[in-house]
Amino acid sequence: MLNAYEERVEESLLNGKRQLSEGKFDEAVESFTYVINNELNQPLLRPHAYAGRARAFLESDQYKLAKYDIDSLNGIATQKKVDPEIHAQLSQLKNDLERKLDNMDLAMLIKQLGHELEPLRIKNSIKMLQAETFQLFSEVNELELAGIVKSQSKSDLVYACRLTSEGHFTCCTQNLRPCGGLKGSVCKHILVLLIGLAQADLIPLRRAYTWVRASQGYRHSFDKETVSGLFIRYKGAEAGEIDWRPTETIPEDYYMF
């Protein structure tokens, strides 16, 4: 027989499922979180709470948090015996997350970047793209994105930016001074380059998202050879000595953000 404490935990799980079915995702998250934090004597409830909370996060387009709960649920399912229903839910959650990542549009990419980074970084990069046209000189392949972004405040200042598939990133001026906006995460110049090229369909949106996600936990890594090569190529393009055509951004494309 359940005591009063255990009854509250079980009731929270039922409430979470009901709220989830009603589309009350924030309330469902609170109910499932209560179960996860309090099911000391009812460990069989935890997988159901993780599955429910992952679904609530997924349906409210919080991919980072959904991925965390999916990974947690996967860990439980591989270490302990759980209901067959949990394995089915886990498989469906993984498939649905993959589908959402594959079907992102630019608005969803920007929203997800805001979940991965400080919102102010995203806001500042969008402000830059809204304020003026940028000529983005870039190199993109399956392993990295690199390019040149002009300073918005000083006409004679340009930044060389780089972001790799493994999450390594750098941004510095032509004087090889690190960008002051890095501070442990990708800066607005890298984001301007990334979002501008994503808008132009020059980098897949899912790839742009996963590369930024991979950058979390890394610090700025200065690659003198790469950035020096970018600046040399940029000067050659500006002088008309080499054919390196930029991608032009249009402020109106970003007004909706």
**One domain for residues 155 and 227:** yes
Structural domain boundaries enclosing 62: 4-102
**One domain for residues 125 and 218:** yes
- Domains in the chain, number: 2
- 148 token code pair: 């040149």
pLDDT above 70 covers what percent of the chain? 98
Tracing tokens 């599955």 back to the chain, one arrives at: 51
Q: How confident is the model at residue 41 (pLDDT cuts 50, 70, 90)?
A: low
Q: Looking at this protein, which amino acid is placed at residue 18?
A: R
Report helix, strand or coil for 204.
Answer: coil
Give pLDDT, residue 151: 85
**One domain for residues 114 and 131:** yes
**One domain for residues 87 and 123:** no
pLDDT of 206 above 60: yes
**One domain for residues 98 and 85:** yes
pTM reported for the whole predicted model: 0.89
pLDDT of 239 above 80: yes
Kindly report, residue by residue over 146-198, the tens digit of the pLDDT: 999 998 877 789 999 999 999 999 999 999 998 988 888 999 999 999 999 99
Provide the CATH number for the domain around residue 43.
Answer: 1.25.40.10
43 vs 171, higher pLDDT: 171
Kindly report, residue by residue over 4-40, the tens digit of the pLDDT: 778 899 999 999 999 999 999 999 999 999 999 987 6
Question: Last residue of a domain, which of 56, 87, 102?
Answer: 102
Angle at 200 between CA 196 and CA 202, to 5 degrees: 95
241 vs 223, higher pLDDT: 241
Residue 125 buriedness (CB in 10 A; 0-12 / 13-18 / 19+): buried
Distance CA 115, CA 187 (A): 15
Kindly report, residue by residue over 207-217, the tens digit of the pLDDT: 999 999 999 88
